Amino acid sequence: MIFESVGPLKGSLGMRACGGCRRFLFFLPLVFFLPYLLSVLELHEKSVVEDLPRKNRQKFDHLILGPAAGQRLPNRLQCQDSRASNMVTVGNASYSKTERSMAILNVFINFIQVTMPKSDVFILTDPASDLSMPRKGVTIYPIHGEYSRDKLMLQRIRSYITFLERRIREHSQGQGHINHYVFTDSDIAVVDDLGHIFHDYQNFHLALTFRNNKDQPLNSGFIAVRGTPDGISRAKIFLEEVLRVYSSKYMNASRMLGDQLALAWVVKSHPSFDARRFTKAQPFVEDIIGASVLFLPCATYNWTPPEGAGQFHGMPLDVKVVHFKGSRKRLMLESWNFFSSSSDISDMLCLILMSGRTKYDF
């Protein structure tokens, strides 16, 4: 899926596309389908939630239904599944399994429209899909391909390449505008304007997010592309190499993770690349196969809430994107439900920090 956002032109970007504004495309693959911020520093100084006396804090309790023990065993109570067991309630809304995917997609769009209110959203999807999204600023963008579950991540890269090829063709025909692009997963919340990336780092062609993980240092859920003809072309070539490596080395992981493994292989196999740079959460730029690649720390641009106990040191002060990966989908809906009643992203971020595994029941 593809999301396009439009923000006012600032600084020295020097672009006057769409009548004096700059455009950012947000791309969302069909992975989870069918199936103003006060600074965060202010959040810690002014948080209403944090200042409440402990006895007045609201506890968020949820009943999580799972398989009943002892089923099909003699002399044990036998339980039948009901429709209620497949429903999840957040606020005043209840969702079936299919409805949850649409709810996640709508919440993704909601966050974009709050933090980047001049944004447009383009959803890349299978032309055969019966997808309707009658919302202002949202466009369904079909691309032919193989969308079977076991090839979905592979198709995602192919769809990105196809989209960039169309943009190159438009530029060659004099039809293209300078639009910046961001490819994302559906389960993210953009909690601050991302336009500064293209202003603060003016010499990169595409941007990836990294973390200190030996086997999977790069997360494919956020890829930014500079919308100049050169940026688009070099990003396309880079992704074509990722696709080649994916197809030749990681087809056994074509359903999940193959794209991240291929990204890591392409980057780490470059002779001059020092993988030790992944251990420090600081942006850096490296030339990889002819493309200037900006590496952005996941801690800021792809931050993930903790999943239960483990190594976790809170939320960075400058977080821009929260990624509700895996079983955290419920928390994404809970976060939007909280924000829609409080209109305070800072307090919402505190809610995320204070939430436990009871939110993770999708």
Residue 140, beta-bridge partner list: 123
| Token pair listed for 167 | 């943009």
**Residues near 39 by beta carbon (within 8 Å), at least 6 away in sequence:** 317
pLDDT of 75 reads: 81
Strands 218-225 and 206-210: antiparallel
Distance in angstroms (rounded) separating the CA atoms of residues 319 and 302: 8
Strands 88-90 and 21-28: unpaired
Domains of the chain, residue spans: 62-71+89-356
- Is the sign of the CA dihedral 303, 117, 166, 288 positive or negative? negative
Phi, psi of 25 (to 5 degrees): -100, 130
**Residues near 235 by beta carbon (within 8 Å), at least 6 away in sequence:** 164, 205, 206, 225, 226, 291
Closest C-alpha to 358, from 61, 103, 89: 61
0.95 exceeded by pTM:
no
What CATH class has 62-71+89-356?
A: alpha beta
Element (H, E) at 93: strand 93-95
Distance in angstroms (rounded) separating the CA atoms of residues 59 and 69: 28
Number of CB atoms found within 10 A of residue 138's CB: 19
Strands 88-90 and 188-190: unpaired
What average pLDDT values come out for the chain (362 residues) when binned by 10 residues? 37 32 49 29 36 47 64 81 66 85 94 88 89 88 91 92 94 83 93 94 96 92 95 98 96 86 96 94 96 97 74 82 88 93 90 70 58
Phi, psi of 169 (to 5 degrees): -65, -40
Alpha helix segments (H runs only) across the chain: 17-20, 40-46, 48-51, 97-115, 152-172, 196-200, 229-249, 258-268, 298-301, 329-342, 345-354
Q: Is 224 helix (H, G, I), strand (E, B) or coil?
A: strand
Number of CB atoms found within 10 A of residue 55's CB: 5
Tell me if 275 sits within 8 A of 268, measured CB to CB: yes
Residue 138, beta-bridge partner list: 121
* Angle, in degrees to the nearest 10, between helices 229-249 and 152-172: 150
Helices and strands of the chain, counted as H and E runs: 11, 13
| Token pair listed for 30 | 């069909």
Q: At residue 89, what is the residue type?
A: T
pLDDT of 301 reads: 97
Strands 291-297 and 88-90: unpaired
Distance in angstroms (rounded) separating the CA atoms of residues 242 and 262: 6
Closest C-alpha to 278, from 293, 307, 298, 250: 298
Distance in angstroms (rounded) separating the CA atoms of residues 137 and 278: 36
Closest C-alpha to 225, from 178, 182, 267: 182
